[in-house]
C-alpha cells in the first residue's frame, strides 16, 4: 500500500517537500494518545530476543534511525512510535544555519538511493539543547546526538565549534557522535585525518565530561565510506588509543562510478552525498575491516544501504552491535522497522547463536 502511495504522491513531489509532509504527519500522530498507542502496537512490536545492550545502554533492539532525518529533535517520539530502537538526531552545529540553497535533495528511485547536499541545515546547538531539555518522552527510546561543524567557522576554529555543541548537548544525549564525514560542508572531511581527529575527539571528550560530570556520555565518531583502507585502520587505531566508545560506519559517499547506478544520469551527477542501496557493499566492507582491527574493544554501528533484515543481519555478523537506516525508510515507509525486526528475530532463531551479542562479528572471527 505504501509503495502505491509513494508512486502516486511522494514520487511526484519535490523530495524535501515530501520529507517535511511525512514528518508533519508523524509529529501529529504522536500527539494523539489513542492514535499513537495504536500506531505503536502496529509498527513497533517488541521481540525479547532482540534486546540489546550497547554503549552501556539497554535498548529494545539493535535497529535505529540514522542522523539526518530528525535534524532538530522534533520527532523523537514519533520515530520511536514507528519502531526505531534508538533515534540519532542531527547533525547539529554550533550555530544555526539554513544549509545549502534548494534544490538539495534528490531521489534515485531506480537505485533505491538518495543524493543530498543539505549542508547541515538545523536550528543550532542552543535551540536543540533547549528542545531536548524541555522534552517529556512519550515512548522510551535511546537518543543519540550527532554534532558537526558550522559552515562559516574556519577549520582552525573547528575544535572550539564542536566543543561548544558538546557542552550544550551532552547533558541530554544518551550518546554523542562527532560527524567529520559529511561531504556537504567544505573542509569537513579533512578532519578525518588522524592529525586533526586526535585533538578534536580529545577536546569533545573533555567537554562532555565537564558538561556531565555525573556520568560518562558515550562518544562515537562517524566516518566516510570513501576513506582509503589504511585511513580506516588509522581511525580504528586512534579510537582504541583514545578510549572512544564507538565508530559509525558509514556516512554517504561522493563516489558515483562502480556503483551500478541506473537512474537518470543528470540526477546521478548532482553533487552531494549518495546514500541507500548502492552504498551497501562498501559500507559492509568498511565495517568488516573495522571489526577485524578493533574486535570487541569498541562498539561498531553499521549504516549504509540497510534495506532488509538480511542486510541488518549481515552487518551484525560483520561486527556491528547496532545498525541504522534512513534512505530505505523513504522508500519502504512506516513498515520498515517492523519488517526488519520481524526478519531479524527469525534469522536469530534459525542461527546457531543464542543471542544477538553472540552473533556480533561471527563472520570475521570465523571466516568460511
Residue 116 annotated in ligand binding:
yes
Alpha helices in 118-157 (DSSP H): 125-134
Residue matched to cell numbers 586512534: 238
Residue 179 annotated in ligand binding:
yes
Give the active site residue among 165, 182, 275, 283. 182
How far apart CA 126 and CA 134 sit, in angstroms, is 13
Torsion, CA 116, CA 120, CA 121, CA 124, rounded to 10 = 160
Residue 276 annotated in ligand binding:
yes
Residue 302 annotated in ligand binding:
no
Residue 305 annotated in ligand binding:
yes
Give the single-character DSSP code of 331: H
Residue 118 annotated in ligand binding:
yes
Residue 222 annotated in ligand binding:
yes
Residue 203 annotated in ligand binding:
no
Residue 148 annotated in ligand binding:
no
Residue 69 annotated in ligand binding:
yes
**φ and ψ at 100, to 5 degrees?**
-75, 160
Residue 120 annotated in ligand binding:
yes
Residue 84 annotated in ligand binding:
no
How far apart CA 14 and CA 105 sit, in angstroms, is 8
Residue 136 annotated in ligand binding:
no
How far apart CA 202 and CA 176 sit, in angstroms, is 13
Residue 91 annotated in ligand binding:
yes
> 182 catalytic, yes or no?
yes
How far apart CA 293 and CA 232 sit, in angstroms, is 9
Residue 2 annotated in ligand binding:
no
DSSP tally for the chain: helices H, then strands E: 15, 13
How far apart CA 97 and CA 92 sit, in angstroms, is 10
Name the maximum alpha-carbon separation found in the chain: 53
Residue 52 annotated in ligand binding:
no
Residue 175 annotated in ligand binding:
no
**Which regions of 192-236 does DSSP assign to beta strands (E)?**
219-223
* DSSP assignment of 229-266: HHHHHHHHHHHHHHT--EEEE---B---TTS---S-HH
26-63: b (≥16 Cβ within 10 Å) or e: beebbeeeeebeebbeebbeeeeebbbebbeeebbbbb
Residues annotated in the binding site for substrate, as ranges? 71, 116-120, 179, 184, 251-252
Catalytic residue ranges: 182
Residues annotated in the binding site for FMN, as ranges? 67-71, 91, 146, 179, 222, 250, 276, 305, 326-327
Residues annotated in the binding site, as ranges? 67-71, 91, 116-120, 146, 179, 184, 222, 250-252, 276, 305, 326-327
Amino acid at each position: 500500500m505504501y509503495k502505491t502511495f509513494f508512486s502516486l504522491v511522494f514520487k511526484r513531489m519535490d523530495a524535501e517537500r515530501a520529507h517535511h509532509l511525512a514528518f508533519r504527519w508523524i509529529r501529529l500522530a504522536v500527539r494523539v494518545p489513542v492514535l499513537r498507542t495504536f500506531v505503536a502496537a502496529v509498527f513497533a512490536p517488541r521481540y525479547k530476543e532482540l534486546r540489546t545492550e550497547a554503549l552501556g545502554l539497554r535498548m529494545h533492539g539493535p535497529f535505529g534511525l540514522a542522523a539526518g532525518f530528525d535534524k532538530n529533535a522534533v520527532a523523537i517520539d514519533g520515530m520511536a512510535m514507528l519502531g526505531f530502537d534508538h533515534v540519532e538526531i542531527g547533525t547539529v552545529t554550533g550555530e544555526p544555519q539554513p544549509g545549502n540553497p534548494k534544490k538539495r535533495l534528490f531521489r534515485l528511485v531506480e537505485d533505491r538511493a538518495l543524493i543530498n547536499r543539505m549542508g547541515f541545515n538545523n536550528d543550532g546547538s542552543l535551540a536543540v539543547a533547549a528542545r531536548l531539555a524541555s522534552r517529556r518522552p512519550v515512548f522510551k527510546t535511546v537518543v543519540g546526538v550527532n554534532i558537526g561543524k558550522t559552515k562559516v567557522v574556519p577549520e582552525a576554529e573547528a575544535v572550539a565549534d564542536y566543543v561548544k555543541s558538546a557542552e550544550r548537548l551532552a547533558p541530554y544525549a544518551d550518546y554523542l557522535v562527532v560527524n567529520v564525514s559529511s561531504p556537504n560542508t567544505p573542509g569537513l572531511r579533512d578532519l578525518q585525518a588522524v592529525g586533526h581527529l586526535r585533538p578534536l575527539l580529545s577536546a569533545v571528550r573533555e567537554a562532555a565530561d565537564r558538561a556531565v560530570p555525573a556520568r560518562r556520555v558515550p562518544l562515537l565518531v562517524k566516518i566516510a565510506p570513501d576513506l582509503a583502507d589504511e585511513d580506516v585502520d588509522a581511525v580504528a587505531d586512534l579510537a582504541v588509543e583514545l578510549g572512544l566508545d564507538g565508530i559509525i560506519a558509514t556516512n554517504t559517499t561522493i563516489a558515483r562510478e562502480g556503483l551500478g547506478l541506473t537512474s537518470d544520469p543528470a540526477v546521478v551527477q548532482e553533487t552531494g552525498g549518495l546514500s541507500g542501496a548502492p552504498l551497501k557493499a562498501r559500507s559492509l566492507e568498511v565495517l568488516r575491516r573495522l571489526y577485524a582491527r578493533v574486535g570487541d574493544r569498541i562498539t561498531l554501528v553499521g549504516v549504509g544501504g540497510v534495506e532488509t533484515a538480511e542486510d541488518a543481519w549481515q552487518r551484525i555478523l560483520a561486527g556491528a552491535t547496532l545498525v541504522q537506516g534512513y534512505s530505505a525508510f523513504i522508500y519502504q515507509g512506516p513498515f520498515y522497522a517492523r519488517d526488519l525486526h520481524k526478519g531479524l528475530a527469525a534469522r536469530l532463531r534459525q542461527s546457531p547463536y543464542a543471542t544477538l551479542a553472540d552473533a556480533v562479528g561471527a563472520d570475521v572471527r570465523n571466516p568460511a
